Amino acid sequence: MTSTILVTGGAGYVGSHTTRLLLDRGYRVVILDNLSTGHIEAIDSRAELVRGDLQDKTQIEAAFKDRDIAGIFHFASNILVGESMEKPWIYLRDNVVSACNLLEVAMAHDVKRFVLSSTANLFDAPDEIPIKAEARIAPGSPYGESKYAIERLLGWMERIYGLASCCLRYFNASGAHPDSTIGEDHHPETHLIPIVLQVALGQRERVTIFGDDYPTVDGTCVRDYVHVLDLAEAHLLAFEAMKDGKSRKYNLGSGSGYTVKQIIDHAVAVSGKPIPYTVGPRRPGDLPVLVADTKKIADELGWQPRNSDLETILETAWNWHLAHPQGYSTPKA
Ligand code: UFG
């Protein structure tokens, strides 16, 4: 029998790419999304949409009605580290309340498998680089704290209800679907790669590099960029592995780090356009280097970051931006 997966935030960036992969692999998908930051155009026509908000349990119930949900992929969330320092309650309260509501309804419907979209922001004070899945947790912001709280909630769900969960801590999600129909479109955009490509398109005058006095090869921050399709694949592998009833936690990156300046240089090469930049002050909360150690998921699930070489990431992102210079057509506030 075809399994039905409930995808919260399926109209968002990682959620829409994962939905596409689930459908391609023969799963049925029901998306629960309030479309506050997600895009209706990002939703695959084969998926069902229940427009609803996780703050309201009756709206979550609507997604379960007359459906046998085999598993949940939980993407819907406030996701910005910087914003969480200014508006902590939409993270410390809303992200956690949404997860509590979702889990309460899911447990009443006897859901047995749950995949959480978690974050590298759990590792604000790494003792070593690359960062292993077992590394000491020190959330770097209310955003990271909210994801850590949800990871801990999942531990209780396992103990009390036997829920198997997999927490996937993404490093820097990036790239777009190779057919350029879905990609990254945030309002406002704060992420490096889309901003750099908007400069290449002539939509912004320049990129501001947030600090060039870090202890790295060229003084700019090092990040681990992982292709959104590789993240999607990890979700499917995790879901399938949890047939054994066991919970897991993995770090997801490419295993390689690039500085901000290296990203700009590669983006110039891929786009063939000039990308002017200036250097500004450091952005509060940024760490010099964040790179994932992905050995655990490679050993246990056989996951490999097949699309996460920087050329593929930048080429797919560039093609998405060329095809959708204004992003998805429905405007966002
Ligand atoms: N950067 C600039 N200029 C910009 C934007 C970004 O110099 O205009 C720099 C940042 O300072 C950072 C790097 O580019 O050094 C990457 O920044 P992003 O904003 O693209 O991504 P972050 O590393 O800050 O955060 C991302 C996700 C978080 C997640 C984190 C985990 O947005 O949700 O990765 O590593 F928690």
To the nearest whole percent, how much of the chain has pLDDT over 90? 95
Q: Which residue has the tokens 């596409």?
A: 20
Q: What is the structure's pLDDT at 1?
A: 63
Cα torsion 100, 110, 152, 126: sign: negative
- The residues of the chain that CATH labels 3.90.25.10 are 192-223+255-323
Tell me: pLDDT of 333 over 60.
no
Distance CA 28, CA 326 (A): 31
List beta partners, residue 280: 210
CATH superfamily of this structure's domain 4-174+225-252: NAD(P)-binding Rossmann-like Domain (3.40.50.720)
Distance of CA 169 to CAs 80, 86, 110, 218, Å? 15, 23, 25, 27
Mutate to test the pocket of ligand 1, among 283, 287, 291, 310 (most ligand atoms within 8 A of CB): 283
- Active-site pick, 13, 143, 214, 258: 143
Give 2's pLDDT tier (boundaries 50, 70, 90): confident
The atom of ligand 1 lying closest to the CA of 207 is 8
Distance CA 79, CA 101 (A): 18
pLDDT digits (tens, 9 = 90+) for 303-330: 999 999 999 999 999 999 999 999 998 6
The answer to whether residues 175 and 313 touch, using CB atoms and an 8 Å cutoff, is yes
- The residues of the chain that CATH labels 3.40.50.720 are 4-174+225-252
Q: How much is the pTM?
A: 0.97
What CATH number does domain 192-223+255-323 carry, 3.30.565.10, 3.90.25.10, 1.10.1740.10, 1.10.274.10?
3.90.25.10
pLDDT digits (tens, 9 = 90+) for 99-108: 999 999 999 9
Whether 266 lines ligand 1, by a CB cut-off of 6 Å, is: no
Distance CA 49, CA 29 (A): 9
Tell me: pLDDT of 235 over 90.
yes
Show the DSSP H helices in the chain as ranges.
13-24, 57-64, 81-86, 89-92, 94-108, 142-161, 192-200, 228-241, 260-271, 295-301, 310-323
Token pair for 214: 């870090």
Catalytic-residue membership of 170: no
The answer to whether residues 312 and 188 touch, using CB atoms and an 8 Å cutoff, is no
Q: What is the structure's pLDDT at 332?
A: 63
Whether 57 lines ligand 1, by a CB cut-off of 6 Å, is: no
pLDDT digits (tens, 9 = 90+) for 30-64: 999 999 999 999 999 999 999 999 999 999 999 99
Pick the residue whose CA is nearest to atom 15 on ligand 1. Answer: 221
Pick the residue whose CA is nearest to atom 7 on ligand 1. Answer: 209
pLDDT digits (tens, 9 = 90+) for 109-164: 999 999 999 999 999 989 999 999 999 999 999 999 999 999 999 999 999 999 99
Whether 277 lines ligand 1, by a CB cut-off of 6 Å, is: no
All residues at 6 or more sequence positions from 65 whose CB lies less than 8 Å from its CB, including other chains:
none
